[in-house]
Chain A
Amino acid sequence: MGVLKDLMQAVRGGANEVGEAIVDANAIRILEQEIRDAESAIASAKQSLTRMKSSEIRLKRDLSTLAADIADYEQKAISALNAGEEALAGEVAERIAELEGDRDDKAGEQEALNNEVNKIHAMIKARERTIQKNKRELDKVRTVQELQRATESVSRNFAATGSKGHRVSQALDRVKAKQQNWQDRMEAGEWLEGQEGVDDIDAKLKAKGIGTSGGSAGSDVLARLKARQSG
C-alpha cells in the first residue's frame, strides 16, 4: 500500500485542518501489525532453520559413515571373489545393495532438507523486505504527523494575532533592521580600528620629529600675514 496516495486523498477530502488526523490511525495500526507479524515469522523461521541445520549435520554424518561402510564391504567382496568365495561375495554384495539403498534414501532426505532451507531463507528475505518497506511507509506517516505537530502551535499564533495585515512584512522589517544595525556596528568597529591605526602613525611620526613641528606654527602664520601686508 502506498501511504502517500492515501495522504493526498485525505487532504483532498478536507482533512487538512489543524489538529485533524491526516493519517487514518487504522492504517498505521495495520502497518505496525504487519511489521510485528513479519518479525515474529522471521523469529520462528530462524528457529526452524536451527533445527534443520542439526538434522543436516546428522544426515551428513550418516552419509559419510554409509559411504565408508560401502567402500569397506566392496573391498571385502573383492577379497572374497579373489579367494574364490563366490557365495560369500554374493552375500556381501547383498549387504552393499542394502547400504546403497539406505544411502539413496538419506541423500533424498538431505536434498529435500536443502530445498526446505532455501525456501525458508527466501521467506526470511521476503519478510525482511516487507518490514523495511512498511518501516519506510510508517516513517512517511510519522514525518507528516511531526510536520503537523511542528507547524500547529505557530500557525495557531498566526490566527491568534488577529491583525493579520502585514504581519510578515513587519517581521521582515524588524529582522532587516536588526541585521542593518549589526552591519552598522560592524562598520563602526572597523572604522574605529582604522582610526586607531591612523593615530598610531601620527604618534610614531611625531615621536621621530617628522611632519608638523608645533614650535614653528606661530612663526609660519606671522610670515604669511607679513607677505599679505606687503602684497
Chain B
Amino acid sequence: MTLDELAFRLNDFNGEEGTTFDALVTEQDILEVTCSNNDEFPIHVTQTDTQILAVTPLFNISEVESGNVDELNAIFLRLSPAVPLSSIGLQGETYILFGAMALSTRFEVIAHELEVQAENTIDVLEAVEHLLA
C-alpha cells in the first residue's frame, strides 16, 4: 500500500470507538495523520523497503527543565516496555514515540496501531509533564 492509498483509506475510516483520522501526504512525502482522540500531536508515517514507520515527535531536549534530563531518560527507559505497540526513542534532539509495522500489515491493523499510538502519546506525556520546562 502506498502512502497515498493509506491516506485515502484513513480519511474514510470510522473506528469502533468513533475514532476518525485526518491524513495528508506532505510535500516531503510524509503521511501526516491526526487522530480524533488527540489532535495536538500528529503522527508522521513513512516507509522503508520492509517497514511502515509511525513517528510522533514529542518534544525537544531543550524543553526539558535543566537538570531533569537524566530522570526523564530513566523514566522513558522504564516506561517504554509498558507502552502498548509503541516505543519511546530519541531522534537527534527530539524525543519520539514510534511504532514499526511490516509493509504487509493489513489496513485495519495499521489504523488500530495509529489509534493506540495517538492515545499512548497523551499517557506518556502525562507521565513526564512535570519534568518539562
Contacts and interface: CB of A to CB of B under 8 A. Distances in A.
A225 to B, nearest CB: 56
Q: How large is the interface on A (under 10, 10 to 19, 20 to 34, 35 or more residues)?
A: 20 to 34
Contacts of B48: 139, 142-143, 146
B12 interface: no
Contacts of B8: none
B75 interface: no
Interface in B31-62: 37-42, 44-51, 53, 55, 57-60, 62
A158 interface: yes
Nearest to B27: A153
Interface residues of B, number: 39
A217 interface: no
A149 interface: yes
A72 B108 CA distance: 73
A83 interface: no
B116 interface: no
A155 B57 contact: yes
**Chain A: interface secondary structure?**
helix
Nearest to A155: B94
A154 B44 contact: yes
B37 A168 contact: no
Contacts of A146: 46-48, 53
B71 interface: no
Nearest to A16: B92
Interface string B1-40: 0000000000000000000000000101010000001111
A168 B132 contact: yes
A139 B49 CA distance: 7
Interface string A138-168: 1100110011111111110011000011111
A16 B49 CA distance: 24
Contacts of A155: 57, 60, 91-94
A141 to B, nearest CB: 9
Interface of B: 26, 28, 30, 37-42, 44-51, 53, 55, 57-60, 62-63, 89, 91-94, 96, 98, 100, 122, 125-126, 129, 132-133
Given A146-B46, A168-B132, A178-B39, 20 more contacts: A16-B92, A17-B92, A18-B92, A18-B93, A143-B48, A146-B47, A150-B30, A150-B45, A151-B92, A153-B26, A155-B60, A155-B93, A158-B57, A164-B63, A165-B133, A167-B59, A168-B63, A168-B125, A168-B129, A175-B39
26 contacts: A16-B92, A18-B93, A139-B48, A143-B48, A146-B47, A147-B55, A147-B89, A147-B98, A148-B92, A149-B28, A150-B57, A151-B44, A151-B94, A152-B92, A153-B44, A154-B44, A158-B59, A159-B60, A164-B63, A165-B133, A167-B59, A167-B63, A172-B40, A172-B126, A176-B122, A178-B39
